[in-house]
Structure 1
Amino acid sequence: MHAIRLHAFGPAENLTYEQTEDPRPGPGQVRIAVRAAGVHLLDTALREGMRGPAPEPTPLPTIPGREVAGVVEALGEGVAGPWLGKRVVAHLGFAPGGYAELAVTDAERLHEIPENLDFAEAVAMIGTGRTTMGILQFTDLGPDSLAVVPAAAGGIGTLLVQYAKNAGATVVGLAGGPEKTARVQANGADLAVDYTDPSWPAKVRAHLGGAKATVVFDGVGGDVAREAVGLLAPGGSHIVFGWSGEGIHDGEPYLVEGLSEQVLGPLMLQKAGGPNPVRTLESRALTEAAAGRLAPAVQRFPLREAAAAHRALETRGTTGKVVLEP
């Protein structure tokens, strides 16, 4: 098979397109002919050698990537026959291996892809959609809600805007540059504003005419978050799920004591509950997409151009979920 391999930590150019051995499914596993592989901002940091969430560092060489969709083409020992030939999507957990033409994973991680979703959309929902469902557990959106969504043209931001509008909320979407702002407007936001314009907070206040935000969905941090929090009404919520604007390596979220709630990690899973909270959130995301209530934005790159995909992510040159297609 062909795959993207990383032999040494460092820049995007270290991701090389190579031919390597086909992986074999072990007991309880399946092998997937990959049609789409998700790329996450965390992947760029892991590529440079940052210690990730896995209990042990990833040994090199490695094939990055932890989100795949495709067709089951081989079964390991003990896996039921009905999976063979199914269109599936899975998050690989701590195990890498997604940036490839073939990938193996535990059968218990599989979700069958709804008929109305393509492979890239399914990958977006298994990762980005799962996180979005987790974030939304921390607020009740309705017709009286006024939500501010920084990075509203991103993968999570796109879904947050759609969900909030479906709930009847008023939505202010922030994005960097006119092209992304236009996408946010087309996605249904009541107001789309370019946060690279220093006067953007004044423009939002003028548009709202004295109304205050009830919730800020913050995955950016930094000055954008600081200004967005200033738009909140007393008792409003600042839901923090990232700080991409500060840099994933050594940045920190913007937090206000008594106002901000940082929701990534164990807190999100505790809220989801059940014997397998990760799978619960994945199922919710796929259900929302299958019903047509959420439609992920996807930016596609050929598998061999993984380095270009990483560079685009690192320079904020992407819109929606970045996906590699073999």
Structure 2
Amino acid sequence: MHAIVLHAFGPAANLRYERTEDPEPGPGQVRIAVAAAGVHMIDTALRSGDFDGPYPLPALPTVPGREVAGTVDGVGEGVGREWLGRRVVAHLGMVPGGYAERAVTSVDTPHVLPDGLGFAEAVAMVGTGRTAMGILRQAPVGPADVAVVTAAAGGIGTLLVQAARNAGATVLGLAGGPAKAARVRELGADAAVDYTADGWTAAARAALDGRAATVVFDAVSGDLGRGAVDLLGRGGRHVVYGWASGGALDLSDEERAVRGITSAVVLGPAMARAGGPGGPGGLRALEEAALAEAAAGRLRPAVHRFPLADAAAAHTALESRGTAGKVVLIP
């Protein structure tokens, strides 16, 4: 098979498209013929070797990637042959290996795909979608809310825009560039503002037409996060699920008290608990919820496809914010 192999930590160019041995499923495992593999921002940090997060740096050489969708084409000892031919999607968890034409995982990991849900869309929902579900369970919105979504054209942002509109909220999306802002409006946002333009904060206030934001979904922090938080009214919520600018926005206790706003990070253990009781196992419930929303047509993940062989270009585009939606590799 072909796979993307990382032999040394460093730039995206270190990702090499190579021929490797097919993985064989061990006891209790299935092998998936991969039709789509998800690319996550965490993958770029792990590739660089400069990462302090929930995943350990892998032993090298390694095949990156933790989200795959495809068809089961092999089973290990103890796994029923009825799995063969099933269309599935899986988050591989702590074990990489997704940027490849075949991947193995425990039989307890895959979800059987609902009819009508494509592989690329499914792989977007099993990781990015589950995060969006976890965010919304911790910070639900309703018809009385005015929601501001930073990075609104990204994989999670596009889902938050749709979910907030489905809940009846007024939605303002902040996106980098006029094309991305137009895409956010197509997704149903009441307004979208290009945050790379001069005077974007004034444009955002004008778009809100005198209303104060009640919740900010912040994936960026930095100057963009600061500008978004300044749109919050009294009692508003700052919901943090990333800091793509390089550092989390630090809101002082004094500011939060004076303005009557809250700020909370919704990642890590809080995300696992959002899926229900049982600690990390709760993530599977979020995956199921995300896939169900996509299968029902209530959420439509935006997908930015690259050929598997162009994984380095996919990483470069993702790091430079040159993508729209979930980045997916197609073998």
Normalised to the residue count of structure 2, the TM-score between the two structures is: 0.95
Residue of structure 2 aligned with 1:269, choices 272, 293, 299: 272
- Classify 1:264/1:54 alpha carbon distance in 2 versus 1 (closer, same or farther; 3 Å): closer
Aligned: 1:34 with 2:34: yes
Report if aligned partners of 1:13, 1:307 keep a CA contact under 8 Å in 2: yes
Deviations 1:296-320 (CA, angstroms, capped at 9, x unpaired): 0000000000000000001110000
Deviations 1:126-185 (CA, angstroms, capped at 9, x unpaired): 000000000001223111110000100000000000000001110000001111111011
Aligned twin of 1:194: 194
Distance 1:63 1:207 in 2: 45
Q: Write the letter of the residue equivalent to 2:238.
A: H
Distance 1:256 1:73 in 2: 54
What value does the CA root-mean-square deviation take over the aligned residues? 1.3
Question: 2:138 is paired with a residue of what secondary structure?
Answer: coil
Aligned: 1:322 with 2:327: yes
Q: Write the letter of the residue equivalent to 2:329.
A: L
Distance 2:283 2:98 in 1: 19
Aligned twin of 1:310: 315
Q: Write the letter of the residue equivalent to 1:202.
A: A
Aligned twin of 1:291: 296
Aligned: 1:88 with 2:88: yes
Distance 2:52 2:244 in 1: 16
1:207 Cα offset (Å): 2.6
Distance 1:113 1:272 in 2: 20
Residue of structure 2 aligned with 1:252, choices 239, 248, 254: 248
Distance 2:16 2:131 in 1: 29
Aligned twin of 1:278: 283
Question: 1:38 is paired with a residue of what secondary structure?
Answer: strand
- Classify 1:209/1:12 alpha carbon distance in 2 versus 1 (closer, same or farther; 3 Å): same
- Classify 1:256/1:86 alpha carbon distance in 2 versus 1 (closer, same or farther; 3 Å): farther
Question: 1:137 is paired with a residue of what secondary structure?
Answer: helix
Report if aligned partners of 2:275, 2:284 keep a CA contact under 8 Å in 1: no
Q: Write the letter of the residue equivalent to 2:288.
A: S
- Classify 1:315/1:71 alpha carbon distance in 2 versus 1 (closer, same or farther; 3 Å): same
- Classify 1:78/1:256 alpha carbon distance in 2 versus 1 (closer, same or farther; 3 Å): farther
Within-5 A mapping of 1:87-166? 87-166=87-166
1:51 Cα offset (Å): 3.9
Aligned residues: 322
Aligned: 1:47 with 2:47: yes
Q: Write the letter of the residue equivalent to 2:272.
A: L
Distance 1:76 1:179 in 2: 47
Distance 1:256 1:189 in 2: 30
Which shows bigger deviation, 203-212 or 169-178?
203-212
Distance 1:26 1:253 in 2: 45
Q: Write the letter of the residue equivalent to 2:215.
A: V
Q: Write the letter of the residue equivalent to 1:65.
A: G
Distance 2:109 2:230 in 1: 41
- Classify 1:93/1:316 alpha carbon distance in 2 versus 1 (closer, same or farther; 3 Å): same
Deviations 1:54-90 (CA, angstroms, capped at 9, x unpaired): 6653110000000000000000111122211100000
1:292 Cα offset (Å): 0.6
> Structure 2: 5+ residue runs without aligned partners?
257-261
Deviations 1:17-63 (CA, angstroms, capped at 9, x unpaired): 00011101111110000000000011111101124546653110000
Distance 2:299 2:252 in 1: 31
> Structure 1: 5+ residue runs without aligned partners?
none
Which shows bigger deviation, 258-267 or 10-19?
258-267
Q: Write the letter of the residue equivalent to 1:263.
A: V
Distance 2:201 2:65 in 1: 37
Report if aligned partners of 1:11, 1:47 keep a CA contact under 8 Å in 2: yes
Report if aligned partners of 1:222, 1:254 keep a CA contact under 8 Å in 2: no
1:102 Cα offset (Å): 0.5
Report if aligned partners of 2:36, 2:123 keep a CA contact under 8 Å in 1: yes
